[in-house]
């Protein structure tokens, strides 16, 4: 039996990227150093809203080691504008961000000038000497402040409004036994990858070519955008992806610096490196969430949901960047969740403020929508005297009802349906894991000075977006395999996962495989990594390429061994014939490497789904919350590497708990970001959430791709606010405290408890 | 031009001299002068722990210590804990437990854990959590990191036994 192939797909194989990271031999953006390299630092607006009257860089230019100070004037009359990559609604066009401020600044952190110097320290020294005269304008920091329009062409600060829905919500609400309306919000926060952004741009003047290293996520798209802005041919630019210290949605979108640094390199004909510092990062990279919602639910008295009405209000910050209105659009789309709600109407209002622009962060819109809906469900169930688990069970879409269309909730998207799954089974599994039946009597109980609460949150989550991904595999002359893919690696272990797929298809040992990714040099076109698509799309493209290469290998071996294909099989980097003759891959490729391209197109989204459950205690004297137990159950269709999927789920839960309790970008009414350092912007540490569990199921493979995989990177985060806030609310229910707004900081909870107490006293 | 100073120090067992401005941090000197780029910078203000190196046995934030303060000291960086071909016990445990994803925080966590286990090979889970809570990781949620460090303890207590014999 020794020749039976050992399949890697489905196994928790150790990651091929780990050895280099563990030994400190990874290659991240700031590790790059080339001869003649200069360093850039960026002067950012210290004011939220102002006209720029003048810029005086003479003192900076006179300093030793300073090569240039680049401002809007150096870039020309037409300042390039960052394009909308997603959800390109025409309403957003006029609100897009120029790559540098020319006459007006609209948020603290907006680039005004780029200093290029012999060292980063010198460049930063010079920043301080640049004199800028501003005429301050009053800052807009909230919705409805229409008297100070950010943009001269607009009457107010609303960039977009739309209504969408299906069924007849008005009729459903008119006929319902029970209706409840509440307002909720999720605070502004951001992904905070541990590596800040950074780029090295090298311009070769004689060849007229530009190489930008440190790119990621959507390199081919960004190359197109950059080529247009610089007025050079796309082919004359290469974007190179190296190791990336975390993406989570924010990294790799086209930011102002993605133009400014290449521009500086071309202008000076020298390599220019820019590494963002953490303070800049917090004010420059996309912020996210920051959504308020007015949500109404209509039910029969037995708890059957009849209708849902949601009004989403999204603070987009000062400009609409590449992600367009994805965050509010997805918040609206995922309001109904995994429930059978026949009548849904949603509206979206995206408004502008003098804050950093908003983009996607892991689970964009879903984190928020699930929190809003699951909170309201608990309130409705309690009002109707129905157990919170029973209420959900009654309304979850059953397997017989799938595929379940949810068309019409996003105006710029075509029809879509929840595909496959058993929502109820996964829900029951989560109840079992958290011990719902044994622990439900603890709800609100005061034990040893703390109140216990258990919360549930169900979700459905899209992933694996099309349109396409490409891959190429090459059997090298030495018999090793090179896999190249258009997907980007953002620290999620994709090299290993793609290696597993190639290894199985070609019966080639894992350690003979090298995975190259993301760079524009590898393929003619690639589509990148976003919307949990890397495994679904990239993995399927690699599978296709490897399958084609397999045919070539068999053909070659058939000639070589004189046996028909039907008598050949691939075993451990060899082709073996029924008669025992064999030839190694290395021998087959010795003369010329064998190569095959693969592609995968797909317009059908996958929908993973699951349930989270949390058991918390709240200390009513301090408002401090402890998470005693947390379980996330998700069906991902197929887990290529269960350890990687599990690791991502645990990491995502902790990020989500940060979003519930800690992460918060705080602005004052002048539009100043008050906590732009890691001392002030809090994220979870190792001692915050020690008990967490994730169960990854493979109940219903996706029918839309040959791997059966569904997006798996986001299911761990999307229902964290829902389950946790419900648990906190359950703990505090006896004190008449309701939870509507995140983050659940001790001061906020303490105040809610105190106010509820004061109300009770007044009423008595 | 800014004055420069020479600093003599031992890095991963090798004596060396770096020439730096007085304001250069130890982390920048290691990364830029000695090209030991395994030490990372995540915040440059002492919070994230990515820059942690071991100075005379103690875990130190390389972004908060000046290179000139390292005169005569013995420094261990992640590169000194084992190479890609010969990973050390802690590194192997990290790989086994999937205790890293993007790998950016990893060097600082390995050095912190190495300093801890060298001093306290029997540190319990709470103690490990307490110490590692000075290092930020945005990918893993910390659970596998703690599990890996717990597992690696055995290798350090063996070392202590050997040293005692
Ligand atoms: S870089 Fe030194 S602690 Fe963050
Ligand atoms: S592995 Fe990415 S920050 Fe820790």
* CATH code of the domain made up of A32-137+196-244+251-284: 3.90.1170.50
Looking at the structure, tell me whether residues B151 and B105 fall in a common domain: yes
Q: For A227-285, how does the pLDDT look when each residue is reduced to its tens digit (9 = 90+)? A: 999 999 999 999 999 999 999 999 999 999 999 999 999 999 999 999 999 999 999 99
Looking at the structure, tell me whether residues B57 and B103 fall in a common domain: no
Closest-CA residue in chain B for A679? B47
Last residue of a domain, one of B80, B105, B133: B80
Q: Per-residue pLDDT for A541 more than 80?
A: yes
Looking at the structure, tell me whether residues B104 and B154 fall in a common domain: yes
Q: Which of B32, B84, B137 sits opposite A194 (nearest CB)?
A: B137
User: Domain residues of chain A, as ranges?
Assistant: 18-26+466-601, 32-137+196-244+251-284, 288-464+605-763
End-to-end, the C-alpha distance of chain A in Å comes to 80
Instruction: Name the residue with the closest Cα to ligand 1, atom 3.
Output: B46
Looking at the structure, tell me whether residues B21 and B88 fall in a common domain: no
What atom in ligand 2 is closest to the CA of residue A21?
1
Q: CB of A130 within 8 A of CB of A114?
A: no
**Is the Cβ pair A195, B102 closer than 8 Å?**
yes
B94 interaction partners in chain A (CB closer than 8 Å): 18, 22
Looking at the structure, tell me whether residues B91 and B154 fall in a common domain: yes
The CATH number for A288-464+605-763, chosen from 3.10.105.10, 3.30.365.10, 3.30.450.90, 1.10.357.10, is 3.30.365.10
Q: Do domains A18-26+466-601 and A288-464+605-763 have the same CATH topology?
A: yes
User: What average pLDDT score do residues A93-100 get?
Assistant: 97
User: What average pLDDT score do residues A415-424 get?
Assistant: 94
Q: Which of these, B39, B135, B41, lies nearest to B80 by C-alpha position?
A: B39
Query: Rounded to an integer, what distance in angstroms lies between the CA atom of residue A180 and that of residue A159?
Result: 29
> Encoding tokens for residue A323?
């992600």
Closest-CA residue in chain A for B24? A121
Q: Per-residue pLDDT for A5 more than 50?
A: no
Strands A237-240 and A209-213 turn out to be parallel
Looking at the structure, tell me whether residues B10 and B74 fall in a common domain: yes
**Is the Cβ pair A19, B31 closer than 8 Å?**
no
| Model pLDDT, residue A80 | 98
Residue B28's domain spans which residues? 5-80
Give chain B's domain count: 2
Q: Per-residue pLDDT for A203 more than 80?
A: yes
Last residue of a domain, one of B80, B107, B122: B80
Last residue of a domain, one of B52, B80, B108: B80
**A313: CB partners within 8 A, 6+ apart:** A143, A291, A292, A293, A294, A349, A351
pLDDT band at A606 (very low <50, low <70, confident <90, very high): confident
Mean pLDDT, all residues of chain A: 95
Query: Rounded to an integer, what distance in angstroms lies between the CA atom of residue A1 and that of residue A3?
Result: 6
Looking at the structure, tell me whether residues B11 and B75 fall in a common domain: yes
Q: Could you tell me the CATH number of the domain that includes residue B97?
A: 1.10.150.120
Q: For A649-681, how does the pLDDT look when each residue is reduced to its tens digit (9 = 90+)? A: 999 999 999 999 999 999 999 999 999 999 999
Q: Which fold has domain A18-26+466-601?
A: Aldehyde Oxidoreductase; domain 4 (3.30.365)
**Is the Cβ pair A21, B103 closer than 8 Å?**
yes
User: What average pLDDT score do residues B67-86 get?
Assistant: 96
Q: Could you tell me the CATH number of the domain that includes residue B71?
A: 3.10.20.30
User: What average pLDDT score do residues A111-127 get?
Assistant: 97
User: What average pLDDT score do residues A544-564 get?
Assistant: 95
Q: What is the ipTM score, two decimals?
A: 0.97
Looking at the structure, tell me whether residues B95 and B155 fall in a common domain: yes
Query: Rounded to an integer, what distance in angstroms lies between the CA atom of residue A731 and that of residue A721?
Result: 15
State the DSSP code for B133.
Answer: T
Burial class (CB in 10 A: 0-12, 13-18, 19+), B84: middle
Our answer on whether the CB atom of B102 is closer than 6 Å to any ligand 2 atom is yes
Looking at the structure, tell me whether residues B17 and B70 fall in a common domain: yes
Q: Which of these, B80, B79, B83, B77, lies nearest to B62 by C-alpha position?
A: B77
Looking at the structure, tell me whether residues B86 and B147 fall in a common domain: yes
Looking at the structure, tell me whether residues B51 and B112 fall in a common domain: no
| Percentage of chain A exceeding pLDDT 70 | 99
Mutate to test the interface with A, among B3, B22, B50, B103 (most CBs of A within 10 A): B103
Q: How far does the centroid of ligand 1 lie from the alpha carbon of residue B45, in Å?
A: 6
Least confident of A110-124, A166-180, A589-603, B60-74: A589-603
User: What average pLDDT score do residues A467-480 get?
Assistant: 94
């Amino acid at each position: 039996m020794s020749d039976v192939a050992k399949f890697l797909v489905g196994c928790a194989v150790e990651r091929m990227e780990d050895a280099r990271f563990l030994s400190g031999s990874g290659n991240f953006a700031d590790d790059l150093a080339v001869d003649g390299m200069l360093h850039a630092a960026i002067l950012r607006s210290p004011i939220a809203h102002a006209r720029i009257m003048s810029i005086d860089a003479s003192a900076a230019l006179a300093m030793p080691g300073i090569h240039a100070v680049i401002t809007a004037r150096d870039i020309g009359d037409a300042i390039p504008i960052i394009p909308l990559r997603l959800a390109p609604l025409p309403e957003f066009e006029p609100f897009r961000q120029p790559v540098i401020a020319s006459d007006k600044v609209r948020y603290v952190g907006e680039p005004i000038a780029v200093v290029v110097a012999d060292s980063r320290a010198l460049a930063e020294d010079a920043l301080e000497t640049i004199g800028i005269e501003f005429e301050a304008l009053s800052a807009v920091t909230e919705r409805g402040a229409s008297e100070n329009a950010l943009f001269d062409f607009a009457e107010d600060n609303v960039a977009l409004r739309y209504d969408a829905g299906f069924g007849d919500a008005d009729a459903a609400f008119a006929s319902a036994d029970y209706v409840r309306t509440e307002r909720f919000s999720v605070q502004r926060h951001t992904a905070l990858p541990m590596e800040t952004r950074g780029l090295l741009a090298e311009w070769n003047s004689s060849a007229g070519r530009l190489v930008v290293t440190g790119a990621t996520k959507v390199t081919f798209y960004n190359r197109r955008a950059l080529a247009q802005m610089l007025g050079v041919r796309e082919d004359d630019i290469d974007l190179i992806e190296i190791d990336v210290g975390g993406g989570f949605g924010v990294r790799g979108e086209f930011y102002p610096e993605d133009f400014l640094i290449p521009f500086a390199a071309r202008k000076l004909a020298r390599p220019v490196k820019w590494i963002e510092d953490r303070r800049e990062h917090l004010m420059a990279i996309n912020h996210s969430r920051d959504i308020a919602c007015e949500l109404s639910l209509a039910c029969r008295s037995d708890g059957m949901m009849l209708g849902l009405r949601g009004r989403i209000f999204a603070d987009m910050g000062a400009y609409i960047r590449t992600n367009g209105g994805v965050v509010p659009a997805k918040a609206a789309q995922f309001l109904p969740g995994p429930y059978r709600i026949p009548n849904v109407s949603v509206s979206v209002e995206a408004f502008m403020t003098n804050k950093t622009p908003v983009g996607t962060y892991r689970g964009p819109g879903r984190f928020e929508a699930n929190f809003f809906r699951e909170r309201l469900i608990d309130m409705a169930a309690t009002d109707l005297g129905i157990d919170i688990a029973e209420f959900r069970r009654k309304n979850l879409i059953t397997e017989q009802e799938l595929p379940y269309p949810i068309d019409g909730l996003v105006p710029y998207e075509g029809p879509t349906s929840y595909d496959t799954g058993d929502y109820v089974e996964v829900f029951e599994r989560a109840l079992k894991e958290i011990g719902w039946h044994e622990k439900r009597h603890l709800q609100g109980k005061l034990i040893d000075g703390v109140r216990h609460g258990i919360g549930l949150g169900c979700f459905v989550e899209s992933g694996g977006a099309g349109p396409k991904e490409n891959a190429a595999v090459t059997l090298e002359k030495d018999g090793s395999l090179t896999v190249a893919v258009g997907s980007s690696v953002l620290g999620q272990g994709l090299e290993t996962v793609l290696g597993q797929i190639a290894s199985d298809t070609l019966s080639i040992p894992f350690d003979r495989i090298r995975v190259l990714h993301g760079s524009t040099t590898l393929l003619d076109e690639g589509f990148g990594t976003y919307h949990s698509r890397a495994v679904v799309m990239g993995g399927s493209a690699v599978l296709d390429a490897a399958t084609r290469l397999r045919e070539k290998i068999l053909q070659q071996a058939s000639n070589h061994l004189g046996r028909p294909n039907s008598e050949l099989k691939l075993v451990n980097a060899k082709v073996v014939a029924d008669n025992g003759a064999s030839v190694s891959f290395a021998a087959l490729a010795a003369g010329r490497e064998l190569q095959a391209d693969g592609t995968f197109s797909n317009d059908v989204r996958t929908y993973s789904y699951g349930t989270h459950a949390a058991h918390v205690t709240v200390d009513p004297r301090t408002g401090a919350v402890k998470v005693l137990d947390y379980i996330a159950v998700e069906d991902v269709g197929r887990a290529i590497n269960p350890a990687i999927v599990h690791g991502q789920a645990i990491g995502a839960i902790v990020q989500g708990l940060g979003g519930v309790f800690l992460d918060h970008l705080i602005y004052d009414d002048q539009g100043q970001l008050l906590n732009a350092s890691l001392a002030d912007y809090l994220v979870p540490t190792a001692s915050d959430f020690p008990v967490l569990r994730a169960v990854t199921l493979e109940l219903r493979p996706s029918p839309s791709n040959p791997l059966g995989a569904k997006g798996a990177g986001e299911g761990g985060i999307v229902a964290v606010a829902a389950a946790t806030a419900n648990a906190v609310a359950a703990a505090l229910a006896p004190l008449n405290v309701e939870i509507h707004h995140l983050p659940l900081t001790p001061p906020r909870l303490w105040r809610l408890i105190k106010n509820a107490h004061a109300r009770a006293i007044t009423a008595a | 031009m800014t004055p420069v100073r020479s600093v003599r120090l031992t890095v991963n067992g090798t004596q060396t001299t770096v020439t730096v401005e007085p304001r250069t941090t130890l982390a920048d000197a290691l990364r830029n002068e000695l090209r030991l780029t395994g030490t990372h910078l995540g915040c440059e203000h002492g919070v994230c722990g990515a820059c942690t190196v071991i100075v005379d046995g103690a875990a130190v934030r390389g972004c908060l210590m000046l290179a000139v303060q390292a005169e005569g000291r013995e420094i261990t960086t992640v590169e000194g804990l084992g190479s890609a071909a010969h990973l050390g016990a802690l590194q192997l445990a990290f790989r086994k437990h999937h205790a890293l994803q993007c790998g950016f925080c990893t060097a600082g966590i390995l050095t912190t854990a190495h300093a801890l286990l060298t001093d306290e090979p029997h540190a319990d889970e709470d103690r490990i959590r307490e110490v590692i809570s000075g290092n930020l990781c945005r990918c893993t949620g910390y659970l596998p990191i703690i599990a890996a460090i717990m597992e690696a303890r055995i290798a350090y207590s063996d070392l202590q036994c050997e040293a005692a014999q």
